[in-house]
């Protein structure tokens, strides 16, 4: 295979057995510190121009995973390859040129914007740091063009973050991330704090930017409907691990893991024909300080097989084209037999409105 072919087919990002463990507590009177397994052996890859949606309940480790990939949190073990280079152990100075191509959009852009900086200074700062502008007038011109691209007026440059609405602030956060011409963006719950009508606008903006610039996204969210709309593939995370990965087209009819099925059944559905029987999960997500033995989902799983599920930890296994599941029973028998999409349904494509 030629180098060109290699470059075209090589994933932009490859994560292998990534773990992020934190020490918690400990001390003279409290005994040995405990280990929080926030991310516990995660592997996946992401192609150029692709969106992988990462979904799961609060506290499942998805935001920690996103930040670990960017090395904003140091990994405990495993590897992260970006553009073919292992960045897991690069020093901060070695990492600096790579940072430009790996950015993050936060849930709360207000928290990430300096309230004393004008929008021009906030968006232009990163361009200056990375030497992407020749002089001040070049910077002004580029900031104005970026603001226009994300749907704000260039006059917004002179204003401060508190003068904007939540949706406008998220547009500023997106402009700031784009300022350094990234290839990969972790979108960390970028619409969770916004009104539903504004959510659609921001999601559609991110999708347009992807089409235009060939960006790759790791789109982190707890709302399965939003993730399904925006993603090409979906990874479902539970207690620090990915339990199912599947193409977006397979989610509606072919998801197999009992946790994915429970998340799906909780999504409100107006069409009674599409409504699924609600699967209630008992109890809360267990503490990552002491995850249950075997399958960590077994205390809440409605079909757990005791003697097996509470002893053997399932691993991700292929069950179809690009479809992986970590469940002893779902690998053997589909728990949710696939149905054919009705003619004309957009299950295989991405629309612009959800």
Residues that bind ligand SF4 (CB under 6 A): 258, 295, 297-298, 301, 303-305, 309, 314, 327-330
Beta carbon nearer to ligand SF4, 118 or 287: 287
> What minimum distance in Å lies between the beta carbon of 275 and ligand SF4?
23
Beta carbon nearer to ligand SF4, 208 or 310: 310
Cα dihedral sign, 295-59-103-146: positive
Question: Which letter does DSSP use for residue 280 in this model?
Answer: P
Closest CA to 301 of 319, 314, 320: 314
Beta carbon nearer to ligand SF4, 179 or 326: 326
Which tokens sit at 5? 């072919």
Please answer whether residues 252 and 220 qualify as being in contact, where contact means their C-beta atoms are separated by less than 8 angstroms: no
Cα dihedral sign, 327-331-332-336: positive
> What minimum distance in Å lies between the beta carbon of 238 and ligand SF4?
9
DSSP labels, 142-171: HHHHHHHHTT--GGGGGS-GGGS-HHHHHH
At 351, give phi and psi (nearest 5°).
-90, 180
Beta carbon nearer to ligand SF4, 166 or 292: 292
Beta carbon nearer to ligand SF4, 82 or 259: 259
Would you call 37 exposed, middle or buried from its count of C-beta atoms within 10 A (0-12, 13-18, 19+)?
buried
> What minimum distance in Å lies between the beta carbon of 281 and ligand SF4?
11
Beta carbon nearer to ligand SF4, 151 or 299: 299
At 137, give phi and psi (nearest 5°).
-70, -30
> What minimum distance in Å lies between the beta carbon of 176 and ligand SF4?
40
Beta-bridge partner residues of 238: 241
> What minimum distance in Å lies between the beta carbon of 304 and ligand SF4?
4
> What minimum distance in Å lies between the beta carbon of 340 and ligand SF4?
26
> What minimum distance in Å lies between the beta carbon of 335 and ligand SF4?
8
Beta carbon nearer to ligand SF4, 63 or 296: 296
Spatial separation of the C-alpha atoms in residues 350 and 207, rounded to whole Å: 9
The count of residues in the chain is 354
The DSSP element (H or E) to which 98 belongs, if any, is helix 92-99
């Amino acid at each position: 295979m030629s180098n060109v072919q290699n470059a075209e087919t090589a994933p932009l990002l490859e994560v292998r057995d990534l773990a992020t463990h934190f020490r918690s507590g400990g001390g003279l009177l409290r005994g040995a510190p405990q280990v929080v397994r926030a991310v516990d052996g995660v592997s996946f890859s992401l192609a150029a121009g692709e969106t992988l949606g990462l979904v799961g309940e609060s506290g499942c480790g998805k935001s920690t995973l996103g930040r670990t990939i960017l090395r904003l949190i140091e990994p405990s073990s495993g590897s992260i390859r970006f553009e073919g280079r292992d960045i897991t152990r690069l020093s901060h100075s070695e990492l600096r040129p790579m940072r430009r191509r790996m950015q993050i959009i936060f849930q709360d852009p207000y928290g990430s914007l300096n309230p004393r900086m004008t929008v021009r200074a906030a968006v232009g700062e990163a361009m200056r740091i990375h030497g992407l502008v020749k002089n001040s007038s070049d910077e002004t011109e580029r900031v104005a063009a970026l603001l226009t691209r994300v749907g704000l007026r260039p006059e917004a440059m002179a204003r401060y973050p508190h003068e904007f609405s939540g949706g406008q602030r998220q547009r500023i956060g997106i402009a700031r991330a784009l300022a350094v011409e990234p290839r990969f963006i972790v979108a960390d719950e970028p619409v969770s704090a916004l009104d539903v009508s504004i959510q659609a606008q921001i999601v559609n903006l991110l999708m347009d930017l992807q089409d235009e610039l060939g960006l790759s996204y790791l789109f982190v969210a707890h709302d399965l409907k939003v993730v399904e709309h925006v993603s090409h593939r979906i990874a479902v995370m539970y207690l620090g691990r990915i339990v199912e990965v599947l193409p977006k087209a397979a989610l509606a009819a072919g998801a197999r893991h009992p946790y994915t099925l429970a998340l799906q059944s909780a999504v409100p559905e107006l069409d009674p024909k599409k409504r699924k029987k609600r699967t209630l999960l008992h109890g809360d997500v267990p503490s990552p300080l002491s995850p249950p033995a075997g399958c960590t989902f077994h205390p809440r799983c409605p079909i757990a097989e005791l003697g097996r599920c509470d002893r053997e930890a399932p691993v991700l296994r292929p069950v179809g084209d690009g479809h992986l599941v970590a469940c002893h029973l779902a690998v053997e028998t589909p728990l949710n037999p696939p149905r054919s999409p009705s003619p004309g349904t957009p299950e295989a494509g991405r629309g612009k409105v959800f």
